[in-house]
Structure 1
Amino acid sequence: MDMTGLIPDFGNLAFTLLAFVVALTIIVFIHEYGHYIVGKWTGIKADVFSIGIGPVLFKRTDKHGTQWQVAAFPVGGYVKFRGDANAASAGADEDAIRGLTPEERRATMPGAPVWARALTVAAGPVFNFVLSVLIFFGMAYYQGIATDPLTVKQMVPISGVENTLEPGDQILSIAGQTTPPLEEFGAYVETLPDDSPLHYVVLRDGAEVEVTTLHPYPAFVGSVTPQTAAADAGLEKGDLILAVNGTPTATFEDLRGIVGEGDGEALTLTIVRDGEQSDVTLTPRRMDLPLPEGGFETRWLIGIGGGLIFEPATRAPSIGEAITGGVSQVQYIITSSLSGLWHMITGAISSCNLRGPIGIAETSGAAASQGMPDFIWFIAVLSTAVGLLNLFPIPVLDGGHLVFHAYEAVVGRPPGDRAMRVLLAAGLAIILSIMVLGITNDLFCP
């Protein structure tokens, strides 16, 4: 057996695992730090702050008595608060709190008032959402907001396309049609001839210049979505798609139409990459996509995104615009995730939309391979998902503990020990069932 053939696969696996561990470690640390710092603010002391589980590789105890540690298996983490029976805060350690003074008992999780415990528990998911908002905020500053008049910042690298447009060119017209304000540009593009190349008139160095280049939205690969037909077929950012099954594709809409009408049949894409023409065969996959007005639609997709042939000149957004955009992005992820879950439960969309650790790890590696901005964006999306999952009212999750605290606030006492044991066992069974379904989907769903 030629063992050298395994090296590329091992390299891809190692890269995927590394990306997954990095993303998960950042998200877990922020989540657990939320618990820790809010617990500290509310007077609850922590005995252990752990990143990872299992055998301890490194540990240090700070002046407050908290042991900070890194464990061998980087698949999670926890904060064990003083007085807790275990890292899941599932019950009190009666031996540890017996004989404590009222002041000492107040510094434990079981001895703290219910409002302090609830805030401490809720802080983990909240910090995940805050991390996501901050990342989206930073990405808004990094990417900027396009401004009028429509001006070329730089050309997007597309295989086999000459850069006839230059940085600083102001687009005056395309195919004889005057360019409108940016908010109307999407509708304007739909009125352009379904052809490529087209004639552009630009203002360059104070003079009007006519150039010829591709349609503003040509059939090229602007991005590749992980775990899709395009990713599996090896399509790369910058590939220009000349035809599908021999039918020319002048615009991205041409490509979208052919794929959508193909009803899942295999497609042969004629592409240009690094100046060379070749054919790539792939089979579109049915995907359930959230709609802006709510609900989902099922479409045949190959898993690529398009875009303009040039990056427009931008301005830095105001702090208000960037924060609002970050919050809106988190809200969209939450609402679409909840809608997707509901539609899976009712059978409206496939349960294959739920992925497990293998799928998340593969997506981590794919996002990292596309560049740091994509990987950071993925961390923000995953952080929101982790925060949302932890708020589900399932015992053993933060949301389940919040339900227990709400019950205690109303009734005046926590649930009984027997009820807690039954509920925690049921919650663990639910979580394990979800994990098994996710892993099964990772292995058997397309």
Structure 2
Amino acid sequence: MTGFIGQLLFYTVPFLLVLTVIVTVHELGHFLVARAFGVKVDRFSIGFGRPLLSRTDRHGTEWRLGWLPLGGYVKFSGDMDASSVPDQAGLAELRQRVIAADGADAERDYFHFKPIWQRALIVAAGPFANFILSVSLFAIIFGAFGSTLVPARVESVSAASPAAAAGFQPGDLITAVNGRIIRDSQEVTRKVALSAGDPLTFTVDRAGREVNLIATPVRRVETDAISGRVSIGRIGLGLRSDPSEVRTVRYNPVEAVGRGVTMSGEVLGTTLTYLGRIFTGKESGDMLSGPIGIAQAAGGITKQAAAATDDPGLQAANVVVTLVQFAAIVSIGIGFLNLLPIPVLDGGHLLFYAYEAVARRPVPARVQDLGFRVGLALLAGLMLFATWNDLQKNGLFTFLGGLA
């Protein structure tokens, strides 16, 4: 029983810690821009549920720490419904209530009566705060540790594999894929993994001579301790460089920020590529993860980081650095998800504001209600699909199917 509780804590604590930090920064983005525009804010909460700690600042905003660490929220004064985009009738009613309570012109301090461009910036500030967080975390890592570049040197070629058919030989150094310069072997692995069925052109250095080889990755089902069971592209290459070829690049603060921007862009680009392949039928979507998968990944990388050394101090340092990297990646995903034009998400609000800017009136209440319901259904469907993936990757249904 004690072992089970320990395993549970190993997976849930890192997940909750990362999630709370990311969502808090997201909500802080909304809050800071709203405060800059003079919007009245009732509450900023880290966590949900009954407050453990609470204080009210001089602006009348309650700062609260909830007992349930599943993120947080910011509540603007006058929020009337879940969509937070009242129609004309709702705005008229809100204006009357505000004036009756606080006097004439008091509504100017309320979010819903701010100019459209200010409301749009406040809404967009949440996702962009996630992107800024990602860049900052990557920059801290690159500034503190630099980056280790391992050349993509071919150590082995599997028999009867796409790599063998393409003519790869041990000792080849991959210098480019589809014309893009390769500096690290992980770049090759990521590109191949998301290219099943698509021919790739590899430029290799073979004893000082440049050779172009074409190989088409084939889909394989693999299992690892972090992701569970997933299907990805492989060409049958084993990559390993001589230690003398490995180099560490150091960055000054400006270069570290630039590298952080580049890394965040690469993560976002990989996400967009994968989603695009899902819509074109080239991927099944089995790599999409929900809370279970994210928690498993957080626990898995924490265990791997701790197991890398026996020194308690180094273990703690490895865990912190690994979770910082993980938080940076997840933050990009949450920022991107919130920008999708789905009602109830920030992107849906921006879509409503775009309509309002063109039509010069808010979206009608019945349309908002329909959009809200459709948005909830889409999110629920996405969550169910991601949870199904998580359970499939962990072999639950196979286990249940084998019960007598």
Q: Secondary structure at the match of 2:286?
A: helix
Alpha-carbon deviations, 1:232-285, whole Å to 9, x = none? Answer: xxxxxxxxxxxxxxxxxxxxxxxxxxxx9996699xxxxxxxxxxxxxxxxx95
Contact 2:154–2:239 at 8 Å: present in 1 too?
no
**Partners of 2:365 and 2:99 in 1: CA distance:** 17
Amino acid at match of 1:435: M
Structure 1 residues 11 and 132, CA gap change in structure 2 (3 angstroms): same
Unaligned runs of 5+ in 2: 157-168, 172-183, 185-189, 191-216, 306-318, 395-404
Q: How does 1:21-100 map to 2 (within 5 A)?
A: 21-86=16-81, 89-91=84-86, 94-95=93-94, 96-99=97-100
The offset of 1:57, in angstroms, is 2.7
1:417: which partner in 2?
Answer: 365
Q: Shift of residue 339 of structure 1?
A: 1.9
Q: Which residue matches 2:231?
A: 287
Q: In 2, distance between residues paired with 1:430 and 1:359?
A: 19
1:125-274 correspondence runs (5 A):
125-144=127-146, 186=152
Aligned twin of 1:199? none
Q: Tell whether the 8 Å contact from 1:16 to 1:361 is kept in structure 2 after alignment.
A: yes
Secondary structure of the residue aligned to 2:112 is: coil
Q: Assess, with a 3 A threshold, how the Cα gap between structure 1 residues 42 and 440 changes in structure 2: closer, same or farther.
A: same
> Which residue of structure 2 aligns with residue 397 of structure 1?
345
CA drift of 1:73 comes to 2.2
Amino acid at match of 1:287: S
**Structure 1: how far apart are the matches of 2:82 and 2:40?**
13
Amino acid of the structure 2 residue aligned with 1:35: H
- Counterpart position of 1:343: 277
Q: CA deviation at 1:342?
A: 2.4
Q: Distance in 1 between matches of 2:81 and 2:105?
A: 22
CA distance in 2, matches of 1:102, 1:123: 30
1:365/1:188 Cα in 2 relative to 1: closer, same or farther (>3 Å)?
Answer: closer
CA distance in 2, matches of 1:56, 1:261: 52
How far apart are 1:404 and its partner, in Å?
Answer: 0.8
The answer to whether the 8 Å contact 1:50/1:78 transfers is: yes
- The CA deviation at 1:383 is 0.4
Count of residues in correspondence between the two structures: 314
Identify the match of residue 386 of structure 1 among 312, 334, 346. Answer: 334
Q: C-alpha offsets along residues 166-204 of structure 1, whole Å, 9 cap, x if unaligned?
A: xxxxxxxxxxxxxxxx99x656989xx969xxxxxxxxx
Match of 1:154 in 2: none
Aligned 8 A contact 1:137 1:323 in 2: yes
* Alpha-carbon separation, structure 2, partners of 1:72 and 1:409: 40
Q: Secondary structure at the match of 2:14?
A: helix
Using a 3 Å threshold, how does the CA distance of structure 1 residues 287 and 74 change in structure 2: closer, same or farther? same
Task: Give the Å deviation of 1:45.
Answer: 1.6
Q: Secondary structure at the match of 1:354?
A: coil
Tell me how far 1:134 sits from its aligned partner: 0.7
Percent identical pairs in the alignment equals: 37
Distance 1:106 1:262 in 2: 58
> Counterpart of 2:15 in 1: which secondary structure?
helix
For 1:97 and 1:88, the matched residues in 2 are separated by 20
TM-score by length of 1: 0.63
Verify the 8 A CA contact 2:267 2:329 in the aligned structure 1: yes
* CA shift digits 1:331-372 (9 cap, x unpaired): 111121122122223321122111110000111112223122
Instruction: State which of 354, 361, 365 in structure 1 corresponds to 2:299.
Output: 365
- What is aligned with 1:329? 263
Q: Partner residue of 2:355?
A: 407
C-alpha change, 1:107 and 1:348, in structure 2 (3 Å) is same
Deviation at 1:58?
2.4
Which residue is 1:440 aligned to? 388
SS at match of 2:110: coil
Query: Could you tell me whether the CA contact under 8 Å between 1:126 and 1:387 is conserved in 2?
Result: yes
Change (3 A) 1:102 1:189: farther
Report the Cα offset of residue 76 of structure 1: 2.8
* Shift of residue 441, structure 1, vs aligned partner: 1.2
The CA distance in 2 between the partners of 1:311 and 1:187, in whole Å, is 9
Show the counterpart of 1:430: 378
Q: 1:300-322: per-residue Cα shift (whole Å, max 9, x none)?
A: 89xx9977647967463133322
Q: Look up the SS of the partner of 1:434 in the other structure.
A: helix
Native 8 Å contact 1:50 1:68 kept in 2 = yes
Going from structure 1 to structure 2, the CA distance change for 1:315 and 1:102 (only over 3 Å counts) comes to farther
Any idea what SS the aligned residue of 1:110 has? Answer: helix
Asked whether the 8 Å contact 1:35–1:120 carries over to 2, the reply is yes
Change (3 A) 1:188 1:306: closer
Cα distance between partner residues in 1 of 2:260 and 2:50 = 38
Deviation at 1:443, TM superposition (A): 1.1
- Read off the aligned partner of 2:251 and give its amino acid letter: P
Query: What SS is found at the alignment partner of 1:352?
Result: coil
Following superposition, the deviation at residue 9 of structure 1 comes to 2.4
Q: Paired residue for 2:15?
A: 20
**Structure 1 position 48, deviation (Å):** 0.9
C-alpha separation in 2, matches of 1:346 and 1:315: 38
1:107 is aligned, of 80, 84, 109, to 109
Cα-to-partner distance string for 1:61-100 (whole Å, 9 max, x where unaligned): 1111011112232223211101111465243684543535
The one-letter code matched in structure 1 to 2:322 is D
